[in-house]
Amino acid sequence: MNWKSITLLFATIVSSITVTEISAKNVKIDTQNTSLVLEAEKGKKLRHLYYGGKISENDAAALRSASGKIYSAYPDYGMITLPETAIAMIHSDGDMTLDLVVDGISSTHDNGADITTVTLKDTHYPVVVKVNYKTWKDENVMETWSEITNNEKSPVTLTRFASGYLPIRSGNVWLSSLHGAWGNETRLTEEPLTRGMKVIKSHEGVRNSRFDHSEVMFSLDGKPQENTGRTIGAALCYGGNYKLRIDTDETDSHHFFAGINEEDSHYKLGKGETFVTPPLALTWSDEGLSGVSRSFHKWGRNHRLAHGDTPRKVLLNSWEGVYFDINEKGMANMMKNIAAMGGELFVMDDGWFGVKYPRNNDSAGLGDWTVDTRKLPGGIQGLVDEAKKNGIKFGIWIEPEMVNSKSELFEKHPEYIIKPANRKAKFGRGKTQLILDMSNPEVQDIVFNIVDTLMTKYPEIDYIKWDANMDIENHGSQYLPADKQSHLYIGYQKGLQNTLQRIRAKYPDVTIQACASGGGRVNYGILPWFDEFWTSDNTDALQRIYMQWGTSYFFPAIAMGSHISASPNHQTHRIIPIKYRTDVAMSGRLGMEIQPDDMTAEEKEQTKRAIAEYKQIRPVVQFGDIYRLLSPYDEKGAASLMYVAPEKDKAVFYWWKTRAFRNEILPRITMKGLDPEKEYVVHELNRIDTKPLSFEGKSFSGKFLMENGLEIPVNHKLAKKNETDWSSRVLYLTEK
């Protein structure tokens, strides 16, 4: 990815090339398989005519005659006050009305993408709003955002500033959304849209996907189906507070708005200043939920994820293995173990730093990023050298946006933390954790220098785990002036993005993981500067099936950290065999979160084979097309999905039993996405049975596998002493 080409939240995009219009007033914007049609007549409101499957220019020109009620494409508040709106402001003279009409249409070509811009101007005040639409020739995802410019003599106050709006025709429309909590992230909710207002929002300031997600799907043909039915997907690309509104009123449509959460964030826009909203990504598919996911995955890998075209390494992270008990001998031993099992990377987690305030627990040391040589006499360089000796790469954990009150940084600069001017600070983790104010340029320099110092001293660091374990829990900036305290949440994100941009400009090749108490930062607003995310601090394999299922709705496997951990599990205390834990972890970016010394020789050998086999299927899993087959949320006793290579010459099929009932008959799974004319040889990975499956080594046509599937045994065939109630399968299909 070209880091210089990433559009920052507050950057201005200049459009210069005239768009060819379908008629005197209609504009059609296409992706590979979708169309958006706008009515953009100069001096009149910008109108939304159509969004859905790709249509002809003739159909687009005749849309108004085939449509029902026509809605504004970017509704403004004031001259009409009853409907929900996308934008509202208070002018410098106190007036609260807007009346935006079309002033012109232009376009530009930027780094392989086409950007269409419709310029709107207020009929009385010198306020300009540019509504932008960005598309790529071979993609099915479209991004839309707005740029709001104040040309009045004095500041105006933005009180609502959505990125986009989409009317969705009423009918049997269902909403799929993601919610959760720590250790139980990205759980799926499916519900029909009924009269009233549905609001999904974040007010955490830092970790905006810890509870709810800013991504949703709309199933237009009734209850959501994985591989059939017209479906719209939407993802707000923002790392801070967001708000999604779905207003189902007395009209014939559901009104969907998405953007920055304006609560406590009214923004004062100075003379000549432009406010740029984050992109809202949209896609449409007639192949159900999985069809939408495939489009988002491809777009995410190509345009919104760092190094989306580079295979991810198999790693061992030290956290659940030793927690804060970091020492040189222990780290060296873990490196030796992961190298022996075929791993490619070792990541040293929390506990390696602090001199005056050693990081022995979560109550001290954040902010003082100096290696604790009492634990690591050879320093970071000694660990880098040890990794090299074992033929693997080395990575390290940091939490640069945070500080402890027990730290030298806080003692020197208490003014750098987020707190109200006339009140005491509120502490988080360890009863000492505080958040640095990223709206402050001096703090941005500190955070940049943390990474810069590490990478300058130790350029062979291959991987950084970037954590964030606290939200903004009390409102106040010691940096922002009194009249701009409402800019805190937005200023934090702007400062963070500026810092990440600086880091990536200087260190484009290092792999960086977004961790935030687990899955608190799983969003496309933060991912342009990160290669992957930590899906959840909960590594329990059974619960991970549910969480990773929801995560896969919008995010590709290449970005989804999925680790083999200990049994009993550290979060749920569930006892699960290594085979099942491995089969779940292999459906994402495979890693380990365990102390290898606690594994049996048999478990180590089994894991070594699994890592080798994962390397075989890694291109298919990390770059293939997902087809979800049987949802764990359907409560039918099993879950199943598969990845298919773009060339359809290889596929990986996953099946997990999710409950154990006596004499239960589980559904037979039909596969998807294969070439019906091709023959596929079936080979089981991670095999533990005493006898191979009856179809091992046999070949079947893609047509047969998609129409009939294969009968998966409910249990493994094992020696009596090894039998359990757990069962899972990974099948590798290769073209004959």
**Helices of type H across 441-531:** 441-457, 488-506
- Report residue 7's pLDDT band, with 50, 70 and 90 as the boundaries: very low
- Report residue 9's pLDDT band, with 50, 70 and 90 as the boundaries: very low
| Interval 572-596 mean pLDDT | 98
18 has a pLDDT exceeding 80 = no
Predicted confidence at residue 66, as pLDDT, reads 85
Report d(CA 533, CA 353) in Å as an integer.
23
Q: In sequence order, which residues have a C-beta less than 8 Å from that of residue 567 and are 6 or more positions away?
A: 574, 575, 576, 577, 578, 581
Report d(CA 705, CA 22) in Å as an integer.
44
- Report residue 555's pLDDT band, with 50, 70 and 90 as the boundaries: very high
Q: pLDDT tens digits for 368-377?
A: 999 999 999 9
Q: In sequence order, which residues have a C-beta less than 8 Å from that of residue 680 and are 6 or more positions away?
A: 651, 674, 699, 700, 701, 702, 705, 733, 734, 735, 736
Identify the H or E element spanning 609. helix 601-623
734 has a pLDDT exceeding 60 = yes
Q: pLDDT tens digits for 186-241?
A: 999 999 999 999 999 999 999 999 999 999 999 999 999 999 999 999 999 999 99
Tokens at 164, concatenated: 């986009």
Answer with the residue of higher pLDDT: 678 or 6.
678
Q: What domains sit in the chain, N to C, each tagged with a CATH number?
A: 3-304 (2.70.98.60), 315-623 (3.20.20.70), 627-735 (2.60.40.1180)
What are the percentages of helix, strand and coil residues in the chain, rounded to 5?
Answer: 25, 30, 45
> Phi/psi of residue 357, each to 5°?
-125, 85
| Interval 554-567 mean pLDDT | 98
Predicted confidence at residue 5, as pLDDT, reads 42
Identify the H or E element spanning 134. strand 127-136
| Interval 494-511 mean pLDDT | 98
| pTM of the full structure | 0.96
Q: pLDDT tens digits for 402-451?
A: 999 999 999 999 999 999 999 999 999 999 999 999 999 999 999 999 99
Predicted confidence at residue 65, as pLDDT, reads 87
CA-closest candidate to residue 490, choices 525, 458, 450, 461: 525
Report d(CA 675, CA 681) in Å as an integer.
13
Q: pLDDT tens digits for 656-668?
A: 999 999 888 999 9
Tokens at 84, concatenated: 């929900």
Q: In sequence order, which residues have a C-beta less than 8 Å from that of residue 89 and are 6 or more positions away?
A: 96, 98, 127, 148, 156, 157, 158, 159, 160, 269
CA-closest candidate to residue 88, choices 133, 11, 134, 146: 146
Q: Angle of helix 379-389 relative to helix 328-340, nearest 10 degrees?
A: 20
Tokens at 554, concatenated: 């919008």
CB 88 within 8 A of CB 96: yes
Predicted confidence at residue 323, as pLDDT, reads 98
Portion of the chain with pLDDT greater than 90, in percent: 94
Predicted confidence at residue 24, as pLDDT, reads 53
**Length of the chain measured in residues:** 736
| Interval 77-106 mean pLDDT | 96
Q: pLDDT tens digits for 477-489?
A: 999 999 999 999 9
- Report residue 68's pLDDT band, with 50, 70 and 90 as the boundaries: confident
- Report residue 671's pLDDT band, with 50, 70 and 90 as the boundaries: very high
CA-closest candidate to residue 401, choices 243, 532, 205, 262: 205
- Report residue 159's pLDDT band, with 50, 70 and 90 as the boundaries: very high
Predicted confidence at residue 21, as pLDDT, reads 46
Predicted confidence at residue 549, as pLDDT, reads 98
Report d(CA 607, CA 631) in Å as an integer.
27
